[in-house]
Every structure is written in structure tokens, then in C-alpha cells.
């Protein structure tokens, strides 16, 4: 069985599916650490985890340039200049379970935990490609293939624009470390590509082949999945060839604590009762989070959260931001006993989350970035 050699996983990762293994950590724990602990980082596998030994591992690079294809070993990649970047990786289907409540979508029912933030280290892809003589070209693509094979022996694959791969500020890495540890098998041992600011699906794990090409990857996941559509497009009308593959992700945020349905204590202060709310926010394309707004009265009053984030320039701000807010609670809200808290984030382009899922609904349930709304009980 191809499933006989799956790795051990942390007991707190709750599977959305077991074969292939897909799981997110308890969302209540996500905002506890700026760098998500490796063993609690969500796992999204489409296929069985391949078995790769360091001795056998090879990465093939075909650039179509005058130079012959290059084969790199793990030692060869480790010998290149080492570069680190803090980047969140988020699945295109993160928060799908909220969108499907509006109207059913097809896909794994992710909560808000199909995201994690880590320090990734490895060689820069731009250095390797430049060394091979690859010249900037706005029309070309870089295709990545994994060692994980589907039942017809086709590998998992994805592609990104060549411009992103060659941009030194793009920070695309051939990564061998996650938070200063060697990559675990679930996260792509021994090498995965990290494409900061870009949807999880393009961050190909167990990377075995890189091809510079005139076309995007022809893989299922590039062509017929991970694309957005109009709310009026359904399975009988959808034409995947008509939509662009998702690359940079839109701005989003989520409330990690309190959890929906939980009983929340009101803190007594000299200026009245308050509840403390904590969560994450992130935007794709290196756009920094500039503000997170919270309301507990359906938007009549907003409260600006305090941000915890790395000091990185805008356009290269790939890590997530954690945030904390203290929300005042009125006497009437205390008497009523119920509170609904909403969060929305704003990025450096002043993009803001849409209020409702209704107008961004799409049949695959991707890009689910409406306000995060959490209802709690006050005690």
C-alpha cells in the first residue's frame, strides 16, 4: 500500500481527511506563537507522502537555456549561500467551512487553521536560475514537480511566473529548514520550494524537478483547481480554462480566541467591562498588514487591534501578523449574554476583507476571506 509509510503526526492535528493526510491545529492555539511550532503546522497532502533518502535525493533543473540541465544533490543545495525568510503559508481553501455555510462548496472543510507562519531557510531560486543563465522574461513560468505521484504516476505539480522566481525581493527558496529544523516528511523533506506571499498550492513539497517553460504547469492543481469564479458559476457552467490560477492571496484575518460558542469572562476595569480577542492577519504578495479592526456591535463602533509583526519592508512582508484587542462590553450586552465579534484586516494597498461570503462564494470554496465572525457567551 502506498500509505504504509506515512509519518507519525501530533495528536492535536485534527484530520479533515486521513488518506491523504490533511489536518489543522486547534485554532485556539494558533495565535500563541508568532512562529508556528513545526509539529502543529497544518498539513495538506494530495497524495501519499513519498519516501526519500538523503543519499538518493536529486533535484533536476531544466532551463531551456544553452546550458545543459543541472542536477543538484542535497549537499549541493546546502553548499549554496543560505538565506532565511519568515513566511506564512496558507491553503487556498483556508476558512472554506465558513463559506460552505452560506451555500455548499466542494473541498476539504477547513476551519481557520489551514495556515502557519515559519522561518524557512535554504538556497535562493533566483541565484540558481541566474547561475544557469536564465534571463528575465515576463511571459514565462517556472514549473515545480514533487516526488509524490498520483495513481497514473503523474507527480504533484504547480507553477509560478518566472518574474516572481527571479526577483531577489520575491524570496523564493529551495528550503531545507523550517524554524531551524530540517523539514519533516509531511512538510516536504528534504526540499520544498517556498514561494512567499503565494497560495500554499504553489509551495511544492518533495521537490524533484524545476522547469523554466513558456506555459504554466499542466497539472490538475494548476489547471483545474485553485482558481476563483463568480458566485453565479456552478458545476454545470464552469470552464476552468477561463480563470487565472491563484497566485498571491487576498487579505484575511481570523479570531483565534475566544472560540465560537465558548463562554467568555468579562474583565472588569475602571472604564467598564472588556473582553480580550486575539488572532492572526495576513495578505499575499508581500503586502504588510497595516490595521485590524474589530467590532462587537455589527460595525457601529470599531476598535483597532495591537499588531505583533516582523519589521520588514512593504512588498516583502511575507510573515503573518498576530493581533490583540480589548473590546468594551456594554451593560446591555452583558444582560443579553451573547456577543458577536467581527474582525477585518487591512493591508498596505488598503485592500480590506469583504463583509459577507455571499458575494465571494465560489464553487471550490477558495479565497474565503470575508470578515471572521465569532459568537460567544458572556459570563
By CB under 6 A, name the binding residues for ligand MTE. Answer: 41-47, 89, 91, 146, 148, 156, 187, 200-201, 203-206
CA distance 216 to 203: 15
3-state secondary structure of 142: strand
CA distance 202 to 205: 9
Window of 71-79, 127-135, 184-192, 199-207 that interacts with Mo ion by CB under 5 A = 199-207
Q: Which positions ≥6 away from 274 have C-beta within 8 Å?
A: 266, 267, 326, 327, 328, 329
In the complex, the smallest distance separating the C-beta of residue 302 from Mo ion, rounded to whole angstroms, is 31
Residues 254/239, Cβ–Cβ less than 8 Å: no
Site string for Mo ion, 76-115 (x = CB under 5 A): ---------------x------------------------
Q: Residue 319 interacts with Mo ion (CB under 5 A)?
A: no
C-alpha cell at 245: 490560477
In the complex, the smallest distance separating the C-beta of residue 126 from ligand MTE, rounded to whole angstroms, is 20
Identity of the residue, 23 or 341, whose beta carbon is nearer to Mo ion in the bound complex: 23
In the complex, the smallest distance separating the C-beta of residue 156 from ligand MTE, rounded to whole angstroms, is 4
C-alpha cell at 154: 503523474
338-347, strands of its sheet edge to edge: 263-264, 372-378, 338-347, 289-295, 303-304
Identity of the residue, 48 or 258, whose beta carbon is nearer to Mo ion in the bound complex: 48
CA distance 22 to 41: 11
Of 146, 200, 319, 365, the one binding Mo ion by CB under 5 A: 200
Identity of the residue, 44 or 373, whose beta carbon is nearer to ligand MTE in the bound complex: 44
Q: Residue 284 interacts with Mo ion (CB under 5 A)?
A: no
Identity of the residue, 161 or 200, whose beta carbon is nearer to ligand MTE in the bound complex: 200
In the complex, the smallest distance separating the C-beta of residue 350 from ligand MTE, rounded to whole angstroms, is 27
Identity of the residue, 44 or 364, whose beta carbon is nearer to Mo ion in the bound complex: 44
Identity of the residue, 187 or 344, whose beta carbon is nearer to ligand MTE in the bound complex: 187
In the complex, the smallest distance separating the C-beta of residue 264 from ligand MTE, rounded to whole angstroms, is 30
Identity of the residue, 118 or 341, whose beta carbon is nearer to ligand MTE in the bound complex: 118
Residues 286/272, Cβ–Cβ less than 8 Å: no
Give pairs for 76-81: CB < 8 Å, separation 24+: 77/122, 77/123, 77/174, 77/176, 77/191, 78/123, 78/176, 80/123, 80/124, 80/127, 80/128, 81/123, 81/124, 81/127
Instruction: Identify the helix (H) or strand (E) that includes residue 188.
Output: none
CA distance 210 to 144: 5
Query: Choosing among ligand MTE, Mo ion, none, which partner's interface includes residue 255 (Cβ < 5 to 8 Å by kind)?
Result: none
Query: Choosing among Mo ion, ligand MTE, none, which partner's interface includes residue 334 (Cβ < 5 to 8 Å by kind)?
Result: none
In the complex, the smallest distance separating the C-beta of residue 187 from ligand MTE, rounded to whole angstroms, is 4
- Which residues in this chain contact Mo ion in the complex, by CB under 5 A? 44, 91, 200-201
Amino acid at each position: 500500500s502506498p500509505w504504509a509509510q506515512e509519518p507519525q503526526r501530533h495528536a492535536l492535528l485534527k484530520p479533515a481527511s486521513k488518506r491523504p493526510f490533511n489536518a489543522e491545529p486547534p485554532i485556539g492555539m494558533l495565535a500563541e506563537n508568532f512562529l508556528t511550532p513545526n509539529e502543529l503546522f497544518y498539513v495538506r497532502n494530495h497524495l501519499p507522502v513519498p519516501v526519500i533518502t538523503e543519499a538518493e535525493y536529486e533535484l533536476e533543473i531544466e532551463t531551456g537555456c544553452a546550458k545543459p540541465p543541472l542536477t543538484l544533490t542535497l549537499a549541493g543545495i546546502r553548499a549554496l549561500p543560505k538565506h532565511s525568510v519568515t513566511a506564512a503559508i496558507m491553503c487556498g481553501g483556508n476558512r472554506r467551512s465558513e463559506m460552505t455555510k452560506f451555500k455548499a462548496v466542494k473541498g476539504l472543510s477547513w476551519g481557520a487553521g489551514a495556515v502557519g507562519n515559519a522561518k524557512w531557510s535554504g538556497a535562493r531560486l533566483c541565484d540558481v536560475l541566474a547561475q544557469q543563465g536564465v534571463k528575465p522574461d515576463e511571459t514565462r513560468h517556472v514549473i515545480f514537480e514533487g516526488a509524490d505521484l498520483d495513481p497514473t504516476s503523474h507527480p504533484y505539480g504547480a507553477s509560478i511566473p518566472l518574474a516572481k522566481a527571479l526577483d531577489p525581493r520575491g524570496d523564493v527558496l529551495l528550503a531545507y529548514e523550517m524554524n531551524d529544523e530540517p523539514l519533516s516528511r509531511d512538510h516536504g523533506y528534504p526540499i520544498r520550494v517556498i514561494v512567499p506571499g503565494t497560495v500554499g498550492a504553489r509551495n511544492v513539497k518533495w521537490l524533484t524537478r524545476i522547469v523554466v517553460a513558456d506555459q504554466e504547469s499542466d497539472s490538475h492543481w494548476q489547471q483545474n483547481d485553485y482558481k476563483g469564479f463568480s458566485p453565479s458559476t456552478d458545476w454545470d457552467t464552469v470552464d476552468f480554462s477561463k480563470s487565472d490560477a491563484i497566485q498571491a492571496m487576498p487579505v484575511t484575518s481570523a479570531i483565534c480566541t475566544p472560540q465560537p460558542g465558548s463562554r467568555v469572562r468579562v474583565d472588569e476595569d475602571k472604564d467598564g467591562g472588556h473582553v480580550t480577542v486575539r488572532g492572526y492577519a495576513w495578505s499575499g504578495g508581500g503586502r504588510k498588514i497595516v490595521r485590524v479592526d474589530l467590532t462587537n456591535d455589527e460595525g457601529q463602533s470599531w476598535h483597532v487591534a495591537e499588531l505583533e509583526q516582523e519589521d520588514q519592508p512593504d512588498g516583502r512582508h511575507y510573515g503573518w501578523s498576530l493581533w490583540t484587542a480589548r473590546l468594551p462590553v456594554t451593560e446591555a450586552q452583558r444582560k443579553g449574554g451573547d456577543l458577536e465579534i467581527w474582525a477585518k484586516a487591512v493591508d498596505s494597498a488598503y485592500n480590506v476583507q469583504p463583509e459577507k461570503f455571499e458575494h465571494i462564494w465560489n464553487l471550490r470554496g477558495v479565497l474565503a476571506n470575508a470578515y471572521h465572525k465569532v459568537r460567544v457567551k458572556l459570563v
